[in-house]
Amino acid sequence: MDQRHIKEILENVASGKVSADEAAEALKTLPFDDINFANIDNHRALRSGYPETVFCQGKTDKQIAEIMARLAEGNDNLIGTRASRENYEAVRKLLPDAKYIEDARLIVLHRKPLPKNSKPIAVVTAGTADIPVAEEAAVVAEMLGNSIDRIYDVGVAGIHRLFAKLDRIRAANVIIVVAGMEGALASVVGGLVDKPVIAVPTSIGYGANLGGLSALLSMLNSCANGVGIVNIDNGFGAGYMAAQINRLSGRTE
């Protein structure tokens, strides 16, 4: 339940439209709602400003649909990550206004966009194969009220491509760098900018990439300052962290 819903209930009590008992009934599921197979955190939006996100991988279609439907009762905006088309079709039966973003594997409910932060976040990939993870990061950050500049396929194998986009990268307030293989792009970008860089290793690469472990270790051992790292293929974590950092600068729109 987000602040808008809480304020609406309180205003209705103050105006006499809703009784105290009715308001108490509406608020009874705070801070969480136990539906047997899940404890839905209805209080997260009040604590963090963003509602709970549903990690869909490993859950059944029915579980995902019920969780998101319950969350939608008190939240205008929702995200389901690592979602399949089948997951989405189940959700859509209960939430017809939900959308599926295939590239990012996200189910989104976006009834009331958050105020936009005027300072952009750049999402940069080493290769085209890294785009699905980058899109997860980009869409999550957009859902959380940020403008995104997507700069894709500028890896170190053709570093002139990166230099051609450097003005756009430097103009961002936070930079997400998504790279597989050896993960070198994060260090290069980190050494060229004065903004925080969030590095996302991906599982893209040949055998010795070890499912992204090589890229992760390269990023952890970066000699560039101001580079933080999230887990392998964790676009959601990068997008969320970037939004939190950007929120410190304040919203202007």
Show the DSSP H helices in 83-221 as ranges.
Answer: 85-94, 131-143, 159-164, 166-171, 185-190, 213-220
- Beta-bridge mates of residue 100: 107
Q: CA–CA separation, 229 vs 236, rounded Å?
A: 13
- Categorise residue 36: left if φ over 0, alpha if ψ from -120 to 50, beta otherwise: left
Give pLDDT, residue 176. 97
Contacts of 165 (CB under 8 A, 6+ apart): 124, 151, 154
> What residues form DSSP beta bridges with 177?
124, 199
Q: In the prediction, which pLDDT does 74 show? A: 75
Q: Residue 37: what pLDDT?
A: 62
Check if the beta carbon of residue 249 is closer than 8 Å to that of residue 173. Answer: yes
pLDDT score, position 160: 92
pLDDT of residue 140: 93
Give residue 153's pLDDT: 92
Give the torsion sign (CA, 229, 233, 234, 235): positive
Give yes or no for a contact between 109 and 68, defined as CB atoms under 8 angstroms apart: yes
199 in Cβ contact with 137 (< 8 Å): no
The domains located in the chain, with CATH, are 3-110 (no CATH), 117-247 (3.40.50.1970)
Rounded to the nearest 10 degrees, how much is the dihedral formed by the CA atoms of 229, 231, 235, 240?
-60
Q: Evaluate whether 133 touches 235 at the Cβ level (below 8 Å).
A: yes
Q: What is the reported pLDDT for 248?
A: 86
CA distances from 95 to 77, 108, 208 (A): 12, 10, 43
238, containing H or E segment:
helix 235-247
Structure tokens at 42: 């209805």
Encoded tokens for 69: 């439907």
What is the model's pTM? 0.79
Distance CA 140, CA 93 (A): 23
One-letter amino acid of 101: I
Mean pLDDT in order along the chain per 10 residues (253 residues) = 60 69 57 61 65 86 90 83 93 92 92 82 94 95 91 90 93 94 91 94 90 92 90 94 85 56
Calpha distance 64→68 (Å, rounded): 6
